A and B are shown apart, each in its own frame.
Chain A
């Protein structure tokens, strides 16, 4: 059966973005970003296994401006995907679908992800002993 030329129903570009739909696509975007971010974890682990010279190269990259910006984006993506993932699991349990609840849980996810990111970076710098 030829399925290539079937008409498609209106897709996202037809609809006005809404708070909940933006959060939904953000879940995907952060998921893709986190999948790419695993490369840093793989590099860190392999460098640690390889030896001090290789490990220093990774640590210097993570400590660089580019490294810190990537890590900041990655940490927010991780917290966002974690919190919104829990929101999805609650939906899977059949709860929280009412419009007001879905909106409120969305706000909670954004606030929680932001606060957790800030706390982590403050704790990270404290653990380093300042800037």
Chain B
């Protein structure tokens, strides 16, 4: 007897045996990004034209640091998932498709880690 739930079974299926993981994570990060993006836009409007000291003040407040890091993680996770689908849909040369997907994932990790590092460096300074 299969003890797995239908949802858990569907997540493990699919041609690459990763099932609905890509689709599901895209939705989860989208959901997380709704409040994060609204907070971010409102914050950016408030700090528009800020000088360095004011920007550092904003970034280093604990709640802003945490929300910024969450925003960065969700944004780059969501973005690389989306770009991967676009590449899979329009690039029909296999080696180029795989190379671009690797490049996108690498760039997302590099830029994401660099941004998180910047926030932490400012917050702990």
Contacts and interface: CB of A to CB of B under 8 A. Distances in A.
A99 interface: no
B45 A34 contact: no
Interface of B: 27, 30-31, 33-34, 37-38, 41, 45-46, 48-53, 55-56, 59, 68, 72, 75-76, 79, 82-83, 86, 111, 114-115, 117-119, 121-122, 125
* Interface residues on chain A, size class: 20 to 34
A77 B115 CA distance: 22
Main secondary structure, interface of A, reads helix
B83 to A, nearest CB: 6
A48 B120 CA distance: 11
A85 B30 contact: yes
Contacts of A51: 52
A31 interface: yes
Contacts, number: 85
A38 B49 contact: no
B82 A56 contact: no
Nearest to B55: A48
B115 A45 contact: yes
A56 B52 contact: yes
Contacts of A128: 48-49
Nearest to B122: A49
Contact of B49 (A28, A48, A63, A75): A63
Contacts of B48: 124, 127-128
B111 A38 contact: yes
